[in-house]
Amino acid sequence: MGRLTDRVAVVTGASSGIGRAIALALGAEGADVVVNYARSAELASGVAGEIERGGRRARAIAADVSRRSDVERLLAQTLDAFGAVHIWVNNAGADILTGDAPSRSEDDRWDRVMAVDLKGTWLCSRTAAAAMVAHSHGAIVNMSWDHVLTGMGNPTAAIYAAAKGGVLAMSRCLAREFAPRVRVNTIAPGWIRTAWGASADDATSRSVVDATPLARWGAPDDVAAAVVFLASSEASFITGETIVVGGGVVMA
């Protein structure tokens, strides 16, 4: 029996990277999982299939978390499929680092990050909490960034920090508002080897390792482990907190 047996979890942005690792980890711990995605239906279905092969139920559901109607539909389809929601992980984020994103205007990148990372977290948290209170209780885990605590000196970082700093501050307010039935906590990942990290050149990769007290890049599984803990009964007396998963680069 896993720590989350018979729990129902929604993970936004779960088709790849950190979201995929979180969805798989929650399933491995016994949860039934909704794998949310915005574009990658094939990848999301693959994640759901892995969870099902592990013995749990899973469903891939498309939704743009920056749209209220999509978030409400995501919840409705979750309840139709599984009858309740106990865990909601707000992992979806706008990519402003890879592909054609760096060539877009600063205004466009700002608007997209604010819509997905900040507004999306707000919409999903409020929608999830209402359902959790109505059915039983629950845990919400939101994604911030370790450098919102110290800053980083480049224009892209400023955009990202504005959204992720907002997520951190908002989560503390929501933790007070939704207590005692719903716990709200935040993960602040650091240098995690996702798509951008995998494409980094040797000099950048080495500089990250050299700057990290634990002397390595983080893996998506490192973040997933922290999420599982915060979603479990082991964290039943923890709310409004932030866990930095960054190998010691930023020490809160």
The pair of structure tokens assigned to 234 is: 């082991």
User: Which residues make beta-bridge pairs with 183?
Assistant: 139
Question: What backbone torsions phi and psi does residue 211 show, to the nearest 5 degrees?
Answer: -85, -5
In angstroms, the Cα distances linking 86 to 89, 132, 168, 224 are 10, 6, 21, 17
Q: Which own/partner contact pairs does 110-114 have at CB distance under 8 Å and 24+ positions apart?
A: 110/159, 110/162, 113/159, 113/160, 113/162, 113/163, 114/162, 114/163
Do residues 87 and 139 touch, judged by C-beta distance below 8 A? Answer: yes
How many angstroms separate the CA atoms of 216 and 192, rounded? 9
How many angstroms separate the CA atoms of 3 and 213, rounded? 30
- Catalytic residue list contains 160: yes
Catalytic residue among 110, 160, 178, 191: 160
Question: What backbone torsions phi and psi does residue 227 show, to the nearest 5 degrees?
Answer: -65, -45
For the chain, list the strands marked E by DSSP: 8-11, 32-37, 58-62, 87-90, 138-143, 182-189, 242-245
Instruction: Give the catalytic positions in this structure.
Output: 160
